[in-house]
Amino acid sequence: MRTRLAPLLADPSRTAVVTDFDGTLAPIVEDPSAARPVPGAAALLAGLARTFAVVAVVSGRPAAFLVDRLGGPGAAQAAGVHLVGLYGLERAAPDGTVVVAEEVAPWAPVVGGAATRLSDGAPDGVLVEAKGAAVTVHWRRAPGAAGWVAARVEAEAARTGLAVHAGRRSLELRPPVPVDKGTVVRSLTEGATAACYAGDDLGDLPAFAALRRRAQEDGMAQVSVCVLDEETAPEVVALADVTVRGPAGACALLAWLSEAARVPGAAAGG
């Protein structure tokens, strides 16, 4: 694995390190509001940002959620870590305020209406998570309700024009704008000579694809990291260059990168 990661250390000042949040920096939990990053993750990101050109978290969570979870002592954002929420529809400004993409604003009432209707009559255990510019319907606590969720979400998509996106035991409705983790990663890696992205779910596939396009077009060295658990989709594993086990494994990889970037020759250990 270290050999595969070595190109990221050739010139850290021109390398981008980008990661997902849920399932990558934080364990998957039944209640999305209860998600917390692995202890020390914020400080780890801050340390990476002191060495690498770009360090970012790109998540389906709202940007304000990322600011809250990665704040505190050793706050990632204070060190210059980019916090990008809702797959690129939101970004946290340096002062912590949230900036929403202009093309999303007209869709806010549409998303709000869909969230209200989806909440009406939702089976016990189904969670409708209203996120401002998007709404996610989770059936993790109600496995038997997957069919209900699929039918209702598809009906809302037909009614509103919102786009459906699959996640871990969830479906999400978002405005139909050309923004996803791939477009974000492409922007973040502009001018980079090397980059990596760590993720665990189908929503991370556009980020993997963006790295590969950069490699083909610009010759950028790239590493796609799959963070494995028992729910990982085979498509994610198939497109990864490196696999690690769970958020602990992802943070261990990032910690090694941070240390190796400060110690000349550390990447040569295999």
Catalytic sites, residue numbers: 20
In the predicted model, is pLDDT for residue 217 greater than 80? yes
For residues 243 and 267, give the distance between their C-alpha atoms in angstroms, rounded to a whole number. Answer: 18
Helix axes 108-119, 146-160, angle to 10 degrees: 150
> What pLDDT does 184 receive?
97
For residues 105 and 48, give the distance between their C-alpha atoms in angstroms, rounded to a whole number. Answer: 33
In the predicted model, is pLDDT for residue 76 greater than 80? no
The tens digit of pLDDT for each residue in 4-28 reads 999 999 999 999 999 999 999 999 9
Map residue 120 onto helix, strand or coil: coil
| Residue carrying structure tokens 């204070």 | 78
> What pLDDT does 30 receive?
87
Per-residue pLDDT band for 73 (boundaries 50, 70, 90) equals very low
> What pLDDT does 147 receive?
97
Per-residue pLDDT band for 265 (boundaries 50, 70, 90) equals low
- The chain-wide mean pLDDT, for the chain, equals 93
Strand-by-strand arrangement of the 170-174 sheet: 127-130, 135-138, 170-174, 163-167
Cβ neighbours of 180 (radius 10 Å): 23
Amino acid identity for residue 251 in this structure: C
> What pLDDT does 158 receive?
98
Instruction: Supply the pTM of this predicted model.
Output: 0.91
Pairs from 188-192 (Cβ < 8 Å, separation ≥ 24): 188/16, 188/18, 188/54, 188/56, 188/58, 188/82, 189/16, 189/18, 189/54, 189/214, 189/220, 191/14, 192/14, 192/15, 192/16, 192/53, 192/54, 192/220
What domains lie within the chain, and their CATH numbers?
Answer: 2-101+179-265 (3.40.50.1000), 108-174 (3.30.70.1020)
The tens digit of pLDDT for each residue in 29-72 reads 988 889 999 999 999 999 999 999 999 999 999 999 999 999 75
| Residue carrying structure tokens 């934080």 | 26
For residues 49 and 77, give the distance between their C-alpha atoms in angstroms, rounded to a whole number. Answer: 9
**Percent of the chain residues topping a pLDDT of 70:** 95
Range of lowest pLDDT (61-75, 84-98, 244-258):
61-75
